[in-house]
Structure formats: structure tokens, C-alpha cells
Structure 1
Amino acid sequence: MLEDIRIYVMQRMVTMNLTGQGWNRYSVCPNIRIWLNMLQTEQRFVHLSNYISIGMSFLVGGMKFEARKMDETFTVDVEKKECSCRLWQLNGYGCVHSVATLAYLNMTPDGPYVDPMYLATLYHNTYK
């Protein structure tokens, strides 16, 4: 029984290592890349402004943006990697509001804006 488990784990490690061999040109894993591409198509419905309305006053911030999608309003802070919808903090690879903000700033949503656990280099280090 233990020998079967050992063989299964070894085969899985080899399979996962071979799977990751073709990912060298990507900075993030393919599943995250697919999700980010989907968010990039959805971000066209998000309207951004570089001010945040608080009652009657406005906060003007360098990397803080207000993202509006339909009747919902969210605050995106690019420097802190935070969005008021909390998805960026929860999943580690951004939400539609953060992707729209990064697109507005001519930045890609991968690389430094994705949690390191989703990078292909960490995947390679895990299964080598």
C-alpha cells in the first residue's frame, strides 16, 4: 500500500514537472492567465476617476482610483494592491476593478500585481 502511494506521488511529480516545462515564456500560470484575460474583457464596463468622493469632499490621490460599474462604486489603491470589493486581497490576482485601473495606467495585471504563489517560477521550483 505504501509503495503504491510512493509510486503515485513520484508519477504525479514527474507529470506536473513536464506540464510546467512549456510555461517558461509566461510570468503567471495558464489558469491565472485565462482568468486575467477574462477580466480584461470585462473591464470595459468599469468607469474610472482619479478622485474619490466622500460625501461632499474629494480625495485626490496619486495611485488611488474610484471604479464604477453600473450602480456600484469601489476604491482601488494600486500601491497597496487593495480594492474595496476585497477580491484582490482574497484571491491574490486582482478583480475587474483593479484590472481596469491597471489598464488605465497602461500596466499589465500580471507580474508585480499578482501574488507570487501564482508565478510559473514557483511552480517550477515546487515540481523539480
Structure 2
Amino acid sequence: MADYNEGLEKLAELNVDVANDFKLYRLELFYRVYLNPAVKTNAITSNIEETFNRYIIQARTKHLLYMLEDIRAALMQRLVVKRQATMKVTLMLSPRIQSKLEAEKEKATECEVTPSSETLFNVNYNLDQLVVNLESRSCTCRKWDMLGIPCCHVVASIYFVGKEPELFVDKCYYRDTYLSVYAGSIPPIQGERYRLVVSMPIDPPPIKIGPGRPRKNRIKDPYENPKKFGSLTRTVIEMTCSPAK
């Protein structure tokens, strides 16, 4: 919230009207301060959909059945490749999350920790004073709350009590969690040549008749001339004149 207020003040210095218009939008839909910490993300984007769309971009140009077959084959292979890559990892966390945690460990050396209890601390970092609660897994900066990855303030507090920061990372980033996500598999299927030929005719779905008397007359246009079928009234008709000769 402090970052939000500072950013809003800077925006008001540039243009007050723009800042007031900005407040009228539903900020909970696109501003980090209003995100739900249970989601474990700090961004509101459509990157996942766009990535998957690019993943199947070639399949989308084909017929519906062949498109679905390409998507099935791609996902079938992806599950195996991801599972094999994860099984090679010997760390507790995934490599990408471990690298982010290492970056926070380096910044933690610049933090000054003052304990209030075994789980509650004051942390001074770059002229800021923040509160870290190891029991509720929260920090004033909300980075740990949002991502589930300890920030530098939390890492410094964890080192103060003589524990390892990896133990305070959210379970969703653990190697075992990744393996459970990719544990399933999509079974292979035979090609068209080896499939059973079914002689059962395919009929169209039954026509469902709705309740009430069926409509006989069509819905007329609001500007349609009631006296002359198929013609409009002169209301809202744009009139043009030919250039003078």
C-alpha cells in the first residue's frame, strides 16, 4: 500500500485529472496491493494463455480432429519431458525458485535484524523498517505473502534463528510437488488406419421445442416502416446531397 500511495502521489504531480480517473477503475483487478495472497503470484497477466496459444499455433490451422490430435500428442510428450527433467533435480526446490532464493540470500547480508520474540522481528533495510512474522509467514513488504518465496528480510530473520530459508518456501515450489503435477500421462491412440470402423449412422441431435406458442411473425426492426414491408422510415436515415454542377 505504501508503494501504491507513493506512485499515486507522483501521478497526481504530473496530472491530477489522470490520477482521479485512475482511482475510478477497479484497482483490485490489476494492482498488486489488492491481490489474494493465497494465489502465490504477483502479476495479473494472460501470459499462461498466450504461451499455450503459441504452443498450439500450428495445430490451430488444421481441421478440428487433426488439431485435437496434435494438441493431444504435444501434451502427452510434454508431461514426460517435464517429469524426466524434474527427476534429474537433486535440490529440494525447482532450479528457477532456488535461483530466486539465492538472490534474496545475497541481499539479506545488508539487513539488520532486531528480534521481538522467537518468530517476530524488526528488520532494517535501505532506511526501511519492516516487520517479519515467521509463524504467520508474513512480511511488511508482502513479497513473501504473495509469492511464497522468502524475501531478503525474511531470509535474514531465518538466519538469525539458525534455520534454512528453503524450509520456509511454499510447498507449491517443492520438487515433489512438481513431480506430482506431472505424474499423470495421456495414453497413446492408434492412427486412422488401425481404428475400428463403426457402421452406426450418426444422426443430428433432436430438435428441442421450447414452451409456449411458436413465433410466426419475425422480429421487426425498430425503425421499420409498418405500412411498407421491408422499408425503413426516414428516422435516423443519413441524407446526402450530390455535388452542385
Where on the TM-score scale, by shorter chain, does this alignment land: which range?
0.7 to 0.9
Bigger shift: residues 102-111 or 3-12: 102-111
Task: Give the AA of the match of 1:13.
Answer: L
Pick from 110, 114, 118: which aligns with 2:166?
A: 110
Whole-angstrom distance in 1 between the partners of 2:72 and 2:165? 39
Task: Give the AA of the match of 1:65.
Answer: F
TM-score, scaled to structure 1: 0.87
Pick from 2, 14, 22: which aligns with 2:88?
A: 22
Residue 188 of structure 2 corresponds to residue 123 of structure 1: no
Pick from 130, 135, 154: which aligns with 1:79?
A: 135
Residue 120 of structure 2 corresponds to residue 64 of structure 1: yes
Q: SS of the counterpart of 1:67?
A: strand
TM-score, scaled to structure 2: 0.46
Compute the displacement of 1:62 (Å): 2.9
Who is 2:154 aligned against?
Answer: 98
Mind listing any 5+ residue stretches in structure 2 that lack a counterpart? 1-66, 184-245
Whole-angstrom distance in 2 between the partners of 1:80 and 1:70? 24
Q: Deviations over 1:44-102 (max 9, x none)?
A: 11001114xxxxxxxxx331100001210100011111111111110001111001110
Higher relative contact order (Cα pairs below 8 Å, separated by 6+ residues): 1
Who is 1:88 aligned against?
Answer: 144
Q: Deviations over 1:7-43 (max 9, x none)?
A: 01011111101110112x3211111111111111111
Who is 2:96 aligned against?
Answer: 31
RMSD: 1.0
Who is 1:12 aligned against?
Answer: 78
Bigger fraction of residues in strand:
1
Whole-angstrom distance in 1 between the partners of 2:138 and 2:178? 25
Runs of 4+ in 1 over 6 A off after TM superposition: none
Who is 1:54 aligned against?
Answer: none
% identical equivalent positions: 26
Whole-angstrom distance in 1 between the partners of 2:119 and 2:146? 20
Mind listing any 5+ residue stretches in structure 1 that lack a counterpart? 52-60
Whole-angstrom distance in 1 between the partners of 2:141 and 2:87? 35
Whole-angstrom distance in 2 between the partners of 1:103 and 1:50? 12
Task: Give the AA of the match of 1:14.
Answer: V
Choose 1 or 2 for highest CA Rg. 2
The count of aligned residue pairs is 117
Bigger fraction of residues in helix:
1
Residue 106 of structure 2 corresponds to residue 41 of structure 1: yes
